[in-house]
Amino acid sequence: MIDIAFLRNHPDEVRENIRKKFQDKKLPLVDEAIALDEKRRALQTEGDSLRAARNAISKQIGQLMKEKKLEEAEAAKAQVNADAVRLSELEKETEEAQSRLTQVMMRIPNIISPETPIGKDDSENVEGKRFLEPKTPDFEVPYHLDILEKLDGIDIDSARRTSGQGFYYLTGDIARLHSAVLTYARDFMINKGFTYCIPPYMIRSSVVSGVMSFEEMEGMMYKIEGEDLYLIGTSEHSMIGRFMGQTLDEKQLPLTLTSYSPCFRKEKGAHGIEERGIYRIHQFEKQEMIVICKPEDSVAWYEKMWNYTVELFVSLGIPVRTLECCSGDLADLKYRSVDVEAWSPRQQKYFEVGSCSNLTDAQARRLGIRYKTEKGSAFAHTLNNTVVAPPRMLIAFVENHLRADGSVEIPEALRPYMGGKTEISVKKA
């Protein structure tokens, strides 16, 4: 959510930002917000004037009574009562105007970065840097599900019977690999100075509406029936929500946190759930990184954060590239975002394995996350980034470390987390 003062003083810039995001249907929201803001301020001004007048008259009543000016005192009392009725009306009208203004402001997208390329959708995202040379083996790389099945590491059919499409069982060495990757990622981030956290896996609607747009919420979140609780789509949701309504000490910033959680997603929309495979599913696990910092530090943290993900993948021998998200591919709260994509030897192309985002103060304004300054307080900036998210990491891992005989090599950095194993061998013909 952007600052109403910024919208008031720079409405054309806000409109242009909406156009850059190809959301012209939201242009009327700017005029509506300005009108509601004017109405709210006018109501507040009238209310403040009435309160001041009421206080002055109330003081006069006592004096009039002392002076036996009963008729004038009664007239003053009548005026106070009339003012009280009007004040009650004004408070209700102000509350309604503020509520509607908040709703409108929450639909207006955050101002995007000057570095963000302009484009309608993810097809117009722009490649950034590449890390490690992509591998092209001299043998055919099977579909990831076929690789995992030969390693006796996955059971999709049983998951369909127990839970439906979009779920899976991991077994044996692949299940161990899954846990090893997450543990390695946890330690990797701890060694970068981040504090490890395990957050709640359910959050209230007040947190949901603070961390994402209404459109995202509808397409992602599972609601717990009969309760004001939602299953998290990523630990960022509950990690940022942890600081809702707080004013942090400036000395605490930056807060650098890394969190583990399962993630639950409807995956509604154009992509949907895969018929066969584990690239897009309803449930997965993830190691996340979150930073809450002062505004002047968020650009530098953004660069550090996506570089950490690149460094982790490179340490496991997986080629990756960065992809700058264009304006039309940015969620409404995001200022700037970059995807990290891993190389797929089977497809001979890159695919998304993580995303890093700078939301400036958009989340903080919604959730009321401030920090103390010499002049009072200011809204903090929030950033989030995927460290690693199996099972997409597993797809990249088994494809890039697959041998001709169907076994999968375990890179040296991960061997301590796999009990010293150097490979996962074929279990099924």
Question: What residue spans define the domains of the chain?
Answer: 4-105, 122-424
- In three-state secondary structure terms, 344 is strand
pLDDT of residue 271: 60
> Under CATH, to which class is 122-424 assigned?
alpha beta
For the chain, count helices (H), then strands (E).
13, 18
DSSP string across 345-385: TTTTEEEEEEEEEE-TTHHHHHHT-EEEETTEEEE-EEEEE
DSSP string across 22-45: T-GGGTHHHHHHHHHHHHHHHHHH
For the chain, give the longest Cα–Cα distance: 107
pLDDT of residue 198: 97
Give the global pTM. 0.90
pLDDT of residue 63: 66
User: In angstroms, rounded to a whole number, what is the distance separating the alpha carbons of residues 230 and 305?
Assistant: 27
pLDDT of residue 230: 94
Sign of the torsion angle spanned by Cα atoms 74, 75, 80, 85: positive
- Buried b vs exposed e over 266-296: b needs ≥16 C-beta within 10 Å? bbeeeeebeeebbeebbbbbbbbbbbbbeee
Report residue 173: phi and psi, to 5°. Answer: -65, -30
pLDDT of residue 81: 74
- pLDDT by residue for the chain (429 residues), tens only, comes to 899 999 999 999 999 999 999 999 999 999 999 999 999 999 988 888 878 777 777 767 666 676 667 777 767 777 777 778 878 888 899 999 999 999 999 999 999 999 999 999 999 999 999 999 998 899 999 999 999 999 999 999 999 999 998 899 999 999 999 999 999 999 999 999 999 999 999 999 999 988 887 677 777 889 999 999 999 999 999 999 999 999 999 999 999 999 999 999 987 655 656 667 888 889 999 999 999 999 999 999 999 999 999 999 999 999 999 999 999 999 999 999 999 999 999 999 999 999 999 999 999 999 999 999 888 999 999 999 999 998 899 999 999 999 999 999 999 999 999 999 999 999 876
The residue among 248, 254, 244, 246 whose CA lies nearest residue 372 is 248
Q: Please tell me the CATH superfamily of domain 4-105, with its number.
A: Serine-tRNA synthetase, tRNA binding domain (1.10.287.40)
Q: Give Cβ neighbours of residue 363 (< 8 Å, ≥ 6 apart).
A: 210, 211, 240, 333, 369, 382
User: In angstroms, rounded to a whole number, what is the distance separating the alpha carbons of residues 342 and 134?
Assistant: 9
pLDDT of residue 62: 65
User: In angstroms, rounded to a whole number, what is the distance separating the alpha carbons of residues 353 and 309?
Assistant: 10
User: In angstroms, rounded to a whole number, what is the distance separating the alpha carbons of residues 143 and 129?
Assistant: 27
